[in-house]
Structure 1
């Protein structure tokens, strides 16, 4: 599960990131409202932990922009603003929870896990496009009722493409979501992985579902019917 923290206080941000990483999460940290918004809009996060008082753009503005852009990932406000009016305002803007500083990390972690369980429950367990089907719970992939065996990375790559079907995914996004690494333009790891995935889910079948968008990335979608 991938979490974005938007927190400008260095000690608090580092403390949260360290604790969440130790709890088994992949964590990005932004120390500025605009930087955090850019990451949230471009990344595929399962949860955003958001301060209110931030440089460049406050937490209210970050949340409003996310919701107007159609992003429904859970958002947890973590802030020193403890007035009832602030809590109500945050929840009315679309926050899923509101925790006031100072806080106990055990309570923070419990709230994070609760929000992630809710978000997970809203995601479909069966993903389909054309005759390709993925059961994310049983970790089973079939195409035209033929069972396809994938490695863990191939499964994660295909799941990302299926959940974002129809969208062109840049190599940088695929690298961060599947390999949890920054994209190096000199490496061809993404292209090799897509080629191997194609050999299993596309080459033996028709129609072809994975397409390359030159200079941009990859997309998975069923071709339009004539």
Structure 2
């Protein structure tokens, strides 16, 4: 799951993002509505955690613009108010769920997982290829019934490769889908993660290196 946290209180935004990352969720941060629109245009997020009272572009306007443009991400709106009228108003602008501040981190993660299970229309939450079975919401994978003990990044790479259905992915593609935006694009992190994933998947090998391009399942 990839989440964009849009919150103008930077300490709170980073706290939320760090907590999500510790749960194996890829999380990026935007501190105003304008930056949120730019980042949403540049990446495919599964869920936006969207504060309502944002500078530059108000959260209501961000929600409305993303909804009317057909952007596939689910939207969880945050607000300092929690009345029924606020809930109805937020949902009416295209939000999928609504959480009033202050909130429990456990509840936030549960809401995100519920939204991810819904996903864009027709998006499966369990992926299966070549004896592999990956639950994208509960975050576990099996090969021929054997549980794979994978790190969050290894799970992310495996999900990207299974979803590509045999189409090769460049290291840059995997970096964009699985790592946060502040990861050094020149690092060897993708190569190292693929190597570890191959070892854990075991024989016969499933991940192929496409010379001069990248990797495919």
Q: How far, CA to CA, are the matches of 1:50 and 1:57 in structure 2?
A: 12
Displacement of 1:30: 0.9
Residue 166 of structure 1 deviates from its aligned partner by 8.1
Match of 1:116 in 2: 112
- Give a deviation string over 1:21-72, Cα, whole Å, max 9, x none: 3473454321121211233344454532212332332223322343333413
Aligned to 2:141: 139
- What's the counterpart of residue 104 of structure 1? 102
Partner of 2:6: 6
TM-fit CA distance, 1:159: 1.0
Tell which structure's C-alpha radius of gyration is larger: 1
Q: 1:16 to 1:57 in 2, by over 3 A?
A: closer
How far the C-alpha of 1:188 sits from its partner, in A, is 3.8
Q: CA RMSD in A?
A: 4.2
With the length of structure 2 as denominator, give the TM-score of the two structures: 0.64
Counterparts of 1:90 and 1:35 in 2: how far apart (Å)? Answer: 20
Tell me the TM-score normalised to structure 1 length. 0.62
Q: Which runs of 5+ in 2 are unaligned?
A: 199-203
C-alpha distance in 2 between matches for 1:58 and 1:165? 39
Whether contact under 8 Å (1:127, 1:133) holds in the other structure is no
**Structure 2 residue 18 is the aligned partner of structure 1 residue 21:** yes
Distance 2:82 2:126 in 1: 41
Residue matched to 1:71: 72
Q: Answer 1 or 2: higher relative contact order, Cα 8 Å, separation at least 6.
A: 2
Question: Which residue does 1:200 correspond to in 2?
Answer: 205
Q: Secondary structure of the equivalent of 1:200?
A: coil
- Secondary structure in 2 matching 1:139: strand
Mapped partners of 1:115, 1:19: distance in 2: 13
Q: Which moved more, 1:44-53 or 1:120-129?
A: 120-129
Deviation at 1:76, TM superposition (A): 1.9
Q: Say if 2:28 and 2:180, in contact at 8 Å, map to a contact too.
A: no
Equivalenced residue count is 199
Q: Is the 8 A contact 2:156 2:178 kept in 1?
A: yes
Tell me if structure 2 keeps the 8 A contact 1:126–1:134.
no
Q: Is the 8 A contact 2:13 2:29 kept in 1?
A: no
Partner secondary structure for residue 52 of structure 2: coil
| Runs of 5+ consecutive residues of structure 1 not aligned to the other structure | 204-209, 221-226
Is residue 6–residue 32 contact of structure 2 (8 Å, CA) maintained in 1?
A: yes
